[in-house]
């Protein structure tokens, strides 16, 4: 019961943050609502027993990637957004269409609740750093090394692209 | 005991909101942030299923968490390179509106 | 322990720790002014109370009674939220810091840590990922600085905040990597486990098993990275009085400025606590066996406080002695010197740990 109440609270904060991201006109407000979404997602990960991932979400996603976004918005001095024609039709037809589709999918999933079952807060050390390290450095060692090369390439790419051409 | 379908529905809602932002917004940085929102929604699905299969006794259920780790790494790399591209385009076109970057249009 | 006792004990711990911490912050400002004054061969505040001991009280009253202006062209929501964010993140770090082993009052045993619990079997446990929570709170603290400068809508604030946040995120890397050596030696991210691992048998019978001895390089990297994180001299270019007016808190007055001030000193205390926990053995120290039980429980907290006080003294001593870095020297130092040194420390430590096993 308590678990469900907590999930509903954090889920509502997530969805409110995501809707606020779409409704705001100035990108800095959108960036800050995205930080709120990521923080509440980190709390939902804690509810799912993924404590290491919750910490990594806060440190990497909310604390580094979004800081990068906020930096770029501040540096480029992005102003409020202007509306252009042509997106009104998409708004009028697309939004109700997706809402109907979403309600259909949601109804199908909820009515199959008995087959799917539920998740609960596990008392064991399930998502702890030891277990994830065991997987990451033994079974998934090759993808780990490849992602390190990927990050190196991304760093070089970002430095080259950000350089002033003179 | 929260039903698994609730987590999946939350993830689907976040993903749909991300797609809305990607298609409807005009500022390139906001479009980028909608991409990050979509990646986060997918991460939630991975973590929910990792917990689900762990309770039902699947070995290597924790690979869901490892997958989320890799998604975060790739999202970080993509955000860095994408923002560098945005800054480079801003230096020449002086605008962040995607409708104005249309020099290749016929 | 049933749920009602748990909640009451938790609330008492929170109130006590926050009260002691805020008093500590206030008296750290007095300590800084007196110490820097003595280094510069003058007295410092001596008028308010004996030896100036009531000066923080006078400062607090001044901050509360000052006019709290909000300039016209600021972004109001972010302007008001930024100092609160900085303060909140500093307080979150304190929640996972253990001050000592357990304490038993009136039959209820509880761990001397806000997020620590004592089991009925006599064991103590705390959060598995305590160190990561402190790193996460530091990462979110960058937002307080960045948004403060941007929302003030003035060029000095914007430049100061951009410099300060770039400095903070650069040195976060060296900070995190310098702690990996300690993690390799102790094998856990939980702060209580790390301190317990330093309570093992001393080396050669007399040298305490503190991690500063094998990790002396990691300790110095941590110290320098932490000084840059908390924006203290020699890395305090973003908020120095002679540069950029006052940096990112130019447009702030009274209570909001006091919040930034308190957040900075609380970050200093967190860094000092973390240094004692990870490198100096936390609360380990000689405890007389013949004292009553309550004194025996609080003696470790006394040793912890002595070590934290030593670090605060070191902070203020360095502030009074060294000049500050220029901004490009600062960034070059963080990226080109500290980061490779921290990685080299990790490589050497992991070789030694693997060779021993």
Interface with C, mutate which of A20, A27, A67, A151 (most C CBs under 10 A): A67
Q: Say yes or no: domain B4-100 is CATH 1.10.287.3510.
A: yes
Residue C342 confidence (pLDDT) above 80: yes
- Tell me if there are at least 3 CB pairs under 8 Å linking chains B and C: no
Domain-located, residue A23:
yes
Domain-located, residue A132:
yes
Domain-located, residue C174:
yes
Domain-located, residue C269:
yes
- Report ipTM for this prediction: 0.92
Among C227, C141, C238, residue whose Cα is nearest residue A63:
C141
CB distance from A71 to chain C under 8 Å? Answer: yes
C1-11 pLDDT per residue, tens = 688 888 898 89
pLDDT value for C243: 60
Number of structural domains in chain A: 2
Chains that touch A (3 or more CB pairs under 8 A): B, C
Domain-located, residue C22:
no
pTM of this structure:
0.91
Domain layout of chain B by residue ranges: 4-100
Domain-located, residue C277:
yes
Number of structural domains in chain C: 1
Per-residue confidence at B23, pLDDT binned at 50, 70, 90?
A: confident
Six-digit token pair at B46? 């991975």
Residue A86 confidence (pLDDT) above 60: no
CB < 8 Å to C139, chain A:
58-59, 62-64, 67
Domain-located, residue A105:
no
Say yes or no: A7 and A71 in one domain: yes
Q: Domain range holding C77? A: 69-100+124-356
Of the partner residues C136, C158, C189, the one whose CB lies closest to the CB of residue A74: C158
* DSSP H or E segment with residue A36: helix A27-47
- Tell me if there are at least 3 CB pairs under 8 Å linking chains A and C: yes
Residues 40-59 (A) with a CB less than 8 A from some CB of C: 51-52, 55-56, 58-59
Six-digit token pair at C61? 């009253």
Task: Tell me the average pLDDT across B13-38.
Answer: 91
Q: Are C165 and A71 within 8 A, CB to CB?
A: yes
Domain-located, residue A135:
yes
Say yes or no: A15 and A72 in one domain: yes
Chains that touch B (3 or more CB pairs under 8 A): A
Domain-located, residue C111:
no
pLDDT value for A37: 96
Among the ranges given (A19-23, A126-130, C39-43), the one the predictor scored with the smallest mean pLDDT: A126-130
pLDDT value for A163: 82
Q: Are B79 and A136 within 8 A, CB to CB?
A: no
Q: Domain range holding A48? A: 1-79
Residue A1 confidence (pLDDT) above 70: yes
Domain-located, residue A89:
no
Domain-located, residue C33:
no
Say yes or no: A73 and A15 in one domain: yes
Q: Are A28 and C146 within 8 A, CB to CB?
A: no
Say yes or no: A75 and A132 in one domain: no
Domain-located, residue A95:
no
């Amino acid at each position: 019961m308590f678990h469900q109440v907590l999930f509903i609270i954090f889920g509502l904060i997530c969805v409110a943050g995501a809707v606020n991201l779409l409704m705001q006109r100035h990108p800095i407000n959108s960036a800050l609502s995205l930080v709120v979404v990521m923080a509440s997602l980190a709390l939902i990960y804690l509810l799912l027993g993924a404590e290491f991932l919750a910490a990594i979400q806060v440190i990497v996603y909310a604390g580094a990637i979004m800081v990068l976004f906020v930096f770029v918005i501040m540096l480029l001095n992005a102003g409020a957004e202007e509306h252009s024609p042509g997106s009104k039709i998409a708004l009028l037809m697309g939004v109700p269409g997706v809402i109907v589709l979403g309600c259909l999918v949601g109804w199908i999933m909820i009515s199959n609740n008995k087959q799917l079952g539920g998740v609960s807060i596990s008392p064991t050390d399930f998502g702890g750093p030891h277990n994830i390290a065991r997987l990451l450095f033994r079974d998934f060692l090759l993808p780990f090394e490849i992602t390190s090369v990927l990050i190196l390439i991304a760093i070089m790419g970002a430095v080259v692209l950000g350089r002033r051409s003179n | 005991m929260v039903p698994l379908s609730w987590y999946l529905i939350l993830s689907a809602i976040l993903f749909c909101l991300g797609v809305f932002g990607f298609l409807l917004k005009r500022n390139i940085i906001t479009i980028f942030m909608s991409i990050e929102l979509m990646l986060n929604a997918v991460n939630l699905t991975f973590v929910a299923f990792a917990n689900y299969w762990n309770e039902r006794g699947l070995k290597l259920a924790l690979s869901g968490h490892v997958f989320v780790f890799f998604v975060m790494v790739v999202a970080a790399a993509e955000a860095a390179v994408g923002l560098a591209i945005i800054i480079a385009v801003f230096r020449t076109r002086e605008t962040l509106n995607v409708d104005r970057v249309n020099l290749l249009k016929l | 322990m049933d749920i009602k006792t748990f909640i009451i004990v938790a609330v008492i711990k929170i109130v006590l720790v926050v009260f002691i911490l805020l008093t500590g912050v206030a008296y750290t400002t007095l300590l800084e002014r007196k110490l820097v004054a003595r280094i510069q061969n003058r007295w410092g505040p001596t008028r308010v109370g004996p030896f100036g001991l009531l000066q923080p009280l006078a400062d607090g009253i001044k901050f509360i009674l000052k006019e709290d202006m909000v300039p016209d062209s600021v972004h109001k929501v972010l302007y008001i939220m930024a100092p609160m964010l900085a303060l909140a993140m500093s307080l979150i770090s304190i929640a996972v810091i253990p001050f000592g082993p357990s304490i038993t009052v009136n039959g209820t045993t509880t761990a001397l840590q806000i997020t620590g619990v004592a089991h009925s079997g006599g064991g103590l446990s705390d959060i598995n990922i305590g160190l990561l929570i402190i790193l996460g709170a530091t990462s979110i603290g960058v937002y307080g600085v960045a948004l403060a400068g941007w929302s003030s809508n003035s060029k000095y604030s914007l430049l100061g905040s951009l410099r300060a946040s770039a400095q903070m995120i650069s040195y976060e890397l060296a900070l995190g990597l310098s702690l990996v050596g300690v993690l390799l030696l102790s094998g856990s991210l939980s702060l209580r486990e790390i301190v317990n691992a330093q309570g093992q048998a001393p080396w050669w019978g007399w040298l305490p098993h503190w991690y500063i001895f094998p990790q002396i390089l990691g300790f110095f990297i941590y110290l320098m990275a932490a000084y840059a994180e908390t924006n203290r001299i020699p890395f305090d270019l973003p908020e120095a009085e002679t540069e950029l007016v006052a940096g990112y808190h130019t447009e702030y007055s009274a209570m909001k400025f006091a919040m930034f001030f308190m957040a900075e000193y609380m970050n200093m205390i967190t860094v000092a606590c973390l240094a004692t926990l990870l490198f100096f053995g936390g609360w380990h120290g000689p405890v007389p066996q013949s004292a009553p039980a309550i004194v025996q429980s609080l003696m470790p907290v006394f040793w912890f406080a002595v070590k934290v006080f030593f670090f605060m003294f070191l902070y203020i001593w360095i502030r009074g002695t060294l000049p500050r870095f220029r901004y490009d020297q600062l960034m070059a130092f963080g990226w080109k010197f500290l980061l490779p040194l921290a990685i080299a420390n990790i490589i050497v430590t992991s070789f030694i740990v693997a060779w021993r096993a």
